[in-house]
Amino acid sequence: MTQSNDANALTEWVTAVAQELGLEDAVDSTGTVDMVLKVTGVVAHNVSRPGAPVTAFLIGVAAGRAEEPGVAARDYAEKITNLAKGWASDSERGVRANDQEQRG
């Protein structure tokens, strides 16, 4: 997979932060940036700009509690991206992200 220009520019920073936090073996620096930029971009445009970093934080907290944080982060990012894409629709609001029966 080809990295975005933003991912290329931030790879060194993400690698340094991961090392500082003791996550060098748990974080894929090359894929992490694009994943986070995608979900935060969708949240910023469809929900609110301030909601984007808060959402990234919440996904990180949830993923950190999972058995496989890297896999969970990707799954949660995809789930929340889809939630944010439909946020303008009244039928999406108030339905828990994991309640697929109500989402249809």
How would you write the pLDDT of the chain (104 residues) with one tens digit per residue?
566 777 778 888 888 998 999 988 877 777 888 899 999 999 999 999 999 999 999 999 999 999 999 899 999 999 999 999 999 765 555 555 555 565 45
**Tokens in use for 22?**
């003791």
* Distance (Å) of CA 5 to CA 53, 58, 65, 84: 20, 25, 31, 24
CA 50 to chain centre: 14
pLDDT at 91: 55
Q: Which amino acid is at 51?
A: G
Say if residues 87 and 47 touch (Cβ distance below 8 Å).
Answer: yes
User: Counting every residue, how long is the chain?
Assistant: 104
Distances from the Cα of 39 to the Cα of 8, 20, 22, 46, 101, angstroms: 18, 24, 24, 11, 23
